[in-house]
Amino acid sequence: MKRFFTVLIACFVLFVPSALAAQEKSEQVTKFEQFLSATGKIIRFEDTTMPTIKTSYENVTTRVRKVSAGPDVKYFFQLEKPTKYSSKTASLEYTDLVETIKAIDTLIAYSEKDKAATVDYFENRFVADGFEIGYFKNKGISWFMDLAKYGSDGTVFFPDVSVVRAIFIAAKEKIDSMK
């Protein structure tokens, strides 16, 4: 009987922390989801189409979305990639968009230095509210964005980050003009 309780306690100690971590991970929400969760308010969406990002395998549509929930207004830059059955969408709130543009500039500078690296593989990335952008070096430098923090099919690849950077800056300028 003592052995049974020892095994039971050991299982409890091993499995409960991982279950709690999984629950915490599933409870994390993006700023977009958090803003939309306001109850008792009428929520209005206004979209402004931005240029499409042409990637290595498919296109990513972009838009600036103004969301009004009662008297509160927020602006998001959204990137959407179609998948087989639905789509993957990243929503960057304005402050995250500004930080992402700064991070892209930093990553560009790092990538220039990293071109001469002699390791077989490495990657650098920036993470913001369920969205990731970065590059990796295998044979050459390749850039990527991951539009969804969970699931698959949210990653896109592109050879040149300058076009993506220009679209991010255009989205920031569009939001600035809408405020």
pLDDT of res. 2: 57
* pLDDT value, residue 20: 40
Cα 91 from Cα 128, distance rounded (Å): 10
Residue 13 inside a domain? The answer is no
Q: What is the pLDDT of residue 151?
A: 64
Structure tokens at 7: 């095994």
Q: Is residue 65 part of a domain?
A: yes
Instruction: Flag residues of the chain having pLDDT under 50.
Output: 4-26
Q: What is the pLDDT of residues 81-93, one digit of tens each?
A: 988 888 889 999 9
For residue 5, the model assigns a pLDDT of 43
Q: Work out whether strand 43-54 and strand 155-158 pair parallel, antiparallel, or are unpaired.
A: unpaired
CATH number at residue 161: 3.30.2450
Could you tell me if residue 1 is inside a domain? Answer: no
In a domain, 38, yes or no: yes
Contact 61, 80 (CB under 8 A): yes
Number of domains in the chain: 1
Residue 24 lies in a domain: no
Q: What angle do CA 157, 160, 164 make, to 5 degrees?
A: 80
Q: Is 104 helix (H, G, I), strand (E, B) or coil?
A: helix
Residue 105's domain comprises: 31-178
**pLDDT for the residue numbered 179:** 87
CA atoms within 13 A on the CB side of 67: 22
pLDDT at position 28, please?
Answer: 67
Polymer length of the chain: 179
